[in-house]
Amino acid sequence: MEQIVTYLEMTGPDELNPAQPVPEVTLDRIDRTSPLIAATQARIGAPYGWRSASRSQEEWAQWLAHPLRQYWLIRYGSEIAGMTDFEPQPGGQVEITTFGLLPEFVGGGLGGHALTLTVRQAWAVEPLDAEPVRRVWLHTSDVDHPNALPNYRRRGFRPFKTRKERREDTS
């Protein structure tokens, strides 16, 4: 099965178009050893066939072995509403490697503000090398939630590449 993957970027923090604030939505950093990472990503990704929904323990160990990747729970009040993670890369880049809400929070108006908080945190991350962060990027596909790409674009991300990729069957 093929999917269309869209790669998007921001090249300056002033490009962020913040969503309407939702005061109950916060980011809560967690350690990469937390079992909440695998469980939360699996629940977020299951409806869309994300690899994280069916990773083996060995695959999770490889994913979590990235020492610079930061993991953040998206909270709505005291409840876990989703998750994001991002990783500094050479040349002043930060890749948002995961962003998503749990199914019961999708469609409730939280995604825009959660993404705003994620992007602000990505711009504030300590860079990998001496260069300051100059680019935040991510990718999504046409099998992700239909609001994903529009939300990224509304927040100020611009597509820089689109391509067809073979999608691994996770069933």
Residue type, 47: P
- At 52 the pLDDT is 62
Q: What is the DSSP string of 92-143?
A: TEEEEEEEEE-GGGTTSS-HHHHHHHHHHHHHHSPPSSSSPP-EEEEEEETT
pLDDT cut 70: percent of the chain above it: 94
- At 162 the pLDDT is 94
Vertex 40 angle, CA 36 and 44, to 5°: 170
In the structure, what pLDDT confidence band is assigned to residue 167 with cuts at 50, 70 and 90? Answer: low
Q: How far apart are CA 86 and CA 118, in angstroms?
A: 9
100, with CB counted inside 10 A (0-12, 13-18, 19+), is buried
pLDDT digits (tens, 9 = 90+) for 43-58: 998 887 776 666 677 8
Residue type, 106: V
- At 171 the pLDDT is 35
pLDDT digits (tens, 9 = 90+) for 119-165: 999 999 987 777 889 999 999 988 888 899 999 999 999 999 999 97
- At 170 the pLDDT is 43
Q: How far apart are CA 39 and CA 17, in angstroms?
A: 31
Whether pTM exceeds 0.85? yes
Tokens of 82: 């989703």
In the structure, what pLDDT confidence band is assigned to residue 168 with cuts at 50, 70 and 90? Answer: low
150 contact partners, CB below 8 Å, separation of at least 6: none
Residue type, 126: E
pLDDT cut 90: percent of the chain above it: 63
In the structure, what pLDDT confidence band is assigned to residue 96 with cuts at 50, 70 and 90? Answer: very high
- At 61 the pLDDT is 76
